[in-house]
Amino acid sequence: MSPGLTHAESDTTSDMSQDNKPLSEQSRRTEIDGFLRKLAATPRTSAPGRRGRLIFAMDATASREPAWDQACHLQAQMFTETSALGGLDVQLCYFRGFQEFHCHPWTGDPQRLLGEMTSVYCQAGHTQIEKVLRHAGDETRSGRVDALVYVGDCVEEDPDPLWKHAGELGLLGLPVFLFHEGGDPVAGRVFREIARLSRGAYCPFDATSPQQLRDLLSAVAVYAAGGQRALTDFSRGAGDIVQRLARQIGKD
């Protein structure tokens, strides 16, 4: 663990001890509601009629193999839910092993994305979240990106550079939506700050409940493709998580 993390932890001892406790159903619901409120309040500035663009970034280190397999089954839902909105282009990014960082070409074909994901095998290594954030900034400077989704379970880097890049993404108008598997308290604190600085949102999820992650991914995909109004329409036939999001939009 880096000195930066140790120093940051010392200022949040009570919060950290609370985070160490397993998430109860009520606390998980509270976290999800908070995520949905932030998503509802996030402005989307894409031009009407333009396809949404979403970077789908994942940690492909060894501990992530079960979650990677799960995400392979869920990714097509993002395209399905956005097809009537003009479509969605997705770029898959991941890191693994020793300094491996890969970004695939943009695609609007769910079968192509599935093929890319199923060809990846997870490999032991440290997190490289800074590379994800730096790449996302480069992409949105060269062509508008509507959302960055990151799925991971830990942070093994100095958080200061991560927060710097997150702040830059906020200035560029690219929100980061972080889905946190597991209860690692350091990762939770760092992810929350990335979300705050980029004007995105953070949400933990239960890896044993794939429907929860499916609904959350679909919500962000619909938001990226069509904005808040599209998300409100989508919620009418969606699950409870997305309906709660639509209600929050109505209040804003």
The domains of the chain are located at 23-39+50-251
Q: How do residues 89-144 score in pLDDT, each as one tens digit?
A: 999 999 998 899 999 999 888 888 888 888 888 889 899 999 999 999 999 999 88
CATH code of the domain made up of 23-39+50-251 = 3.40.50.410
- SS3 at position 21: coil
Calpha distance 79→119 (Å, rounded): 20
Highest mean pLDDT (candidates 31-40, 100-109, 223-232): 100-109
Whether pLDDT at 6 is above 70 = no
- SS3 at position 197: helix
pTM for the structure as a whole: 0.75
Better-scored residue on pLDDT, 218 or 83:
218
Calpha distance 130→163 (Å, rounded): 9
Task: Provide the percentage of residues in the chain whose pLDDT is more than 90.
Answer: 27
- Based on its alpha-carbon atoms, the radius of gyration of the chain, rounded to whole angstroms, reads 17
**What value, to the nearest 5°, has the Cα angle with vertex 187 and ends 192 and 195?**
20
Give Cα separations from 222 to 30, 42, 99 (angstroms).
Answer: 22, 13, 33
